[in-house]
Amino acid sequence: MNVLEFCRPETHPDIPNVWNVLAPYSAAAQAEQGLSFYKQIYREPAAVHKKLQHITNKEVEQINRRLPQIISLADPYANPKTVSEQHCQDFSLPYLFRLLCGLNPVRGGVVHICPYCSGLLEKNKLVRVETRTCVPKPYADILSEYSQAEKLIVTGQQCIHTETVSRFFVLHLINI
């Protein structure tokens, strides 16, 4: 995923600060070269949870400090071809949700979450999905508009590469 590809300065000069962010699970997996991380989860689940919490805290800290206007958040190591849904519920979703909850809501900007992650958040009743309609336009334009929002907006349920959308989905975190 590369937001920068279609949020280029020449087409979207008003977006100075776009981040691709790996959700905590994938950030940990990437740091451990993927396969050995999956084994660690079996062998030392408690240590992995501790690591995931640490990564979540650090990501929240960095994002709140640097205030990117658009964040594209994905969890490629926790995809349905790789790990089971139960595995996601145990090791990926809780930290993704904590990350979202930790972001400063009055900082503004927009967080796009990849469809699989946002689908799981919804399925597990961690978000409520609101459908909004718009005149057909590139999804990047919607992100661009919301990047200027005063309060943080979270979107998901569709691929960031969608070229034209007439509706999009805003996710409201459910406090639990």
Partner 1 sequence: MPRTKQELYALLSDAVVEMDEDTSVALSNESVEAGYDAFETIDQGLAKGMERAGKLFDESEYFVPELLMCADALNAGVNILKPYIKTEEQSEKHRIVIGVIEGDTHDIGKNLVKLMLSSAGFEVIDLGRDVPPISFVENAIKENAEIIMMSSLMTTTMDGMKETIQLLNEKGVREQFKVAVGGGPVSSGFAEKIGADGYSSNANQAVKLANEWCRQIK
Least distance in angstroms from the C-beta of 54 to partner 1: 21
Nearer to partner 1, 73 or 83 (CB): 83
Looking at this protein, which amino acid is placed at residue 19?
A: W
* Interacting residue ranges for partner 1, rule: CB under 8 A: 34-35, 38-39, 41-42, 77, 81-84, 87
Nearer to partner 1, 42 or 46 (CB): 42
Least distance in angstroms from the C-beta of 127 to partner 1: 24
Nearer to partner 1, 17 or 89 (CB): 89
Tell me the DSSP string of 83-152: S-HHHIIIIIHHHHHHHHHHS-GGG--EEEE-HHHHHHHHHTTSEEEEEEEEEEE-HHHHHHHHTT-SS-
Least distance in angstroms from the C-beta of 19 to partner 1: 19
Least distance in angstroms from the C-beta of 8 to partner 1: 16
Nearer to partner 1, 76 or 108 (CB): 76
Question: Taking the alpha carbons of 161, 2, 85, 83 in that order, is the dihedral positive or negative?
Answer: positive
Identify whether the C-beta of residue 152 lies closer than 8 Å to the C-beta of residue 105: yes
For the chain, what's the residue count? 176
